[in-house]
A and B are shown apart, each in its own frame.
Chain A
Amino acid sequence: MDAEHETIRRIVGGDSRQYGVLVDRYKDRAFALASRLLGSREEAEEAVQDAFVKAFHRLADFRGDSRFGTWYYRILYNICMTRVSRRPAGSLSLDDMTSTEGELAVESNEPDSLEVISSNERREILGEELQKLPQKFQAVLTLFYIQEQRYEEIAAILEIPLNTVKSHLFRARGLLRKRIQDRYNEGMRAA
């Protein structure tokens, strides 16, 4: 049994204070996911807290056949989606923005802008452009890169087929690269 499952065993056994260890371990990455899905810092913080409370009450049901993170992110994702679905129509419908730009970028023969822009600038631009991507793409990218979940785990969290995870990731990366390239080109034209 690994340390995390041992911690969970102790919490379920009554040592509730140990839950703070799990919260500390996952809170920032969970916040990154919720921020991407909800777009608002305050709402994301509330969602992360709600998810931790819900996860605690359901901890006895956690079978331990996956990582706690995967199980917890699933709860968080559902909470975020419920919040999104309660919003007035038209306030956030990022999924509708899905385009084929990503695939076009893959075939692009332009020089790779990532190699030219300085590393700090790249991170900043990446962060900004990631925020503008369709929600489902933000979710897979955040789960893969920030939550460090594997394809199968992402599929379990988002309840989508494995091949959809692969295709979302592929298109999301392509789209992100394309947008960075466009930004770079605009900057070059303006200079």
Chain B
Amino acid sequence: MTDHILRETLQLVADGELAEEAARSVRLHLKTCESCRKVYQSLAQFDRLMRFVPVRSLPRDFTAGVLSRLGIQPRPPFLFRVLEHFASLVAVILVAAMGGSVWALLSLQLGHDAGSQSMSQFQPLEVVGVWMETSWDEFAGWMQHALLLLPQGQASKIFLMIILTAFVVAVIDWIVQRRGAAGRS
């Protein structure tokens, strides 16, 4: 007559709570004893079901509520952060373009550009106009140069520009998050 294994012991095996050596000998027994195997299968089936008992979810804004109680500003959604960084990126490009144009205008004023007019010949508003026009020309020139470096074909250019922008935005986001963390610590 075969000695059967206690249901409690089989349950410990199903729960992964029996010492490995003992569990191995139980598994060996299960290969040869149909009665114990049936009990074990029934326990395992119950366990599988229990792991899928429906769990109710908390409201979506629960985490924000906890952070708010702790006085912690929740991290803005990713899309919002992307837009924020994209705006920062555009601002940086514009400032750089303006810087370049100021440098160009200064060169103009100093008469480095042979045959050009002196700044002193312009009225203040005209100076701003020339400055903006030059800025735009500089920026457009850079963009043209950049586009020439990209593969031919409109679609691939647009695709590459999106990838590059996403990369730059992700890098900015990473830097901002790291700086934020360092600033708070």
Contacts and interface: CB of A to CB of B under 8 A. Distances in A.
A14 B181 contact: yes
Nearest to B178: A15
Interface stretch (A67-75, A83-91, A144-152, A183-191): A144-152
Given A27-B63, A114-B42, A173-B46, A127 B70 contact: no
A28 B54 CA distance: 11
Contacts of B47: 145
Interface residues of A, number: 45
Interface string B57-88: 11100111111011011110000000000000
Interface string B95-108: 00000000000000
Interface in A132-149: 141, 144-146
A48 B49 contact: no
A137 to B, nearest CB: 12
Interface in B131-167: none
Contact of B55 (A14, A20, A146): A146
Interface string B1-39: 000000110011001010000000000000000000000
Contact of B50 (A27, A31, A145): A145
Contacts of B56: 28, 31-32, 35, 41
Given A20-B63, A146-B53, A114 B70 contact: no
Given A15-B181, A16-B184, A112-B42, A123 B53 contact: yes
A123 B45 contact: no
Q: Chain B interface secondary structure, helix, strand, loop or mixed?
A: helix
A177 interface: yes
B58 A145 contact: no
A126 B53 contact: yes
Given A16-B70, A23-B67, A56-B70, 13 more contacts: A16-B72, A17-B75, A19-B70, A27-B62, A27-B63, A32-B56, A49-B65, A49-B69, A53-B70, A114-B45, A123-B53, A126-B49, A145-B47
23 contacts: A10-B181, A13-B185, A14-B184, A15-B181, A15-B184, A16-B70, A17-B67, A19-B67, A20-B64, A20-B74, A23-B63, A28-B55, A32-B56, A41-B56, A49-B65, A106-B7, A127-B54, A141-B50, A144-B15, A146-B51, A151-B17, A166-B8, A169-B15
Interface of A: 10, 13-17, 19-20, 23-24, 27-29, 31-32, 35, 41, 45, 48-49, 52-53, 56, 106, 112, 114-115, 119, 122-124, 126-127, 130, 141, 144-146, 150-151, 166, 169-170, 173, 177
The 4 closest A-B pairs by CB, nearest first: A14-B185, A14-B184, A15-B181, A145-B50
